[in-house]
Amino acid sequence: MKKIKYKSNIFWILVLIGITVLSIAAMLLTRQASGTVAKIYLYGELIKTVNLATVTEPYSMIIEADSGRSNTVLVEKGRIRVTQADCRDGICVQQGWIYGGLMPIVCLPHGLAIQIDGGAYANIDAAVG
């Protein structure tokens, strides 16, 4: 009887060790992901979230504004940019890649904004200039 009880305790200890290890793994994965998540907003509304940490192959997507005009967004591991836009000033294309959470890409004529949460400059509260 005692032997069975002992085995049962060992089993539950192993289960708890397993849960602990899984918790640590989940925590680390969550932290990594939260540092490199790009959020795409159209007219202030979140329309897409891209986990840049898990991108293996670069890919493009077209974001269409209400006016029928569009921006082409290129996604690579850890970074994102606008590659083509039929807006009038093209500032969003000129801005190039963004990696961190400070300066969002903004295409005012199309109401598009791309912001990365956290990233390399997560300990900075704001940027000027």
Partner 1 sequence: MKKADGTRFEIKCRIKNLKNRRVRGSHKAVTALFVCIFMIISGIGTAGCGGGQSGDIMSETRLLFDTYCTITIGQPIYSSKLDASNLISNLLEEAFELCEKYEALFGMTVTGSDVWKINHAKGEPVEVSRETVELIEHGLRFGELSGGMFDITVGRLSSLWDFGNNFNEHGGQTVPPQELLKKAQLTVNYSQLTTNAEKSTVQLENPESWIDLGGIAKGYIADKIAEHLRQNGVTNALINLGGDIMLLGKRPDGSPWRTAIRKPYGSENEYVGVLEIADASIVSSGTYERQFTEDGITYHHILDPYTGMPSTSDVISATVIAENALIGESLSTIAVLTGSEKIEIIFEQTAGFIGAVLVTDGGEVLIYGNAELIT
The piece of 8-16, 52-60, 70-78 that touches partner 1 (CB under 8 A) is 8-16
Contact by Cβ (8 Å): 69, 86: yes
* Nearest distance from C-beta of residue 90 to partner 1, angstroms: 9
The piece of 46-54, 56-64, 70-78, 108-116 that touches partner 1 (CB under 8 A) is 108-116
The piece of 12-20, 47-55, 58-66, 70-78 that touches partner 1 (CB under 8 A) is 12-20
Which residue type occupies 11?
A: F
* Nearest distance from C-beta of residue 98 to partner 1, angstroms: 4
Rounded Cα–Cα distance for residues 25 and 60 (Å) = 30
Which residue type occupies 101?
A: G
**Any contact of residue 31 with partner 1 (CB under 8 A)?**
yes
Rounded Cα–Cα distance for residues 94 and 108 (Å) = 14
Figure out which of the listed residues 73, 82, 85, 113 binds partner 1, where binding follows CB under 8 A.
113
Rounded Cα–Cα distance for residues 75 and 43 (Å) = 21
Rounded Cα–Cα distance for residues 36 and 106 (Å) = 18
Q: Chain centroid to CA 48: how far? A: 10
**Any contact of residue 103 with partner 1 (CB under 8 A)?**
yes
Say which residue the tokens 């959470």 belong to: 101
**Residues found near partner 1 in the complex (CB under 8 A):** 5-6, 8-10, 12-13, 16-17, 19-20, 23-24, 26-27, 30-31, 34, 44, 88-89, 95-100, 102-106, 108, 111, 113, 115, 117, 120-121, 123-129
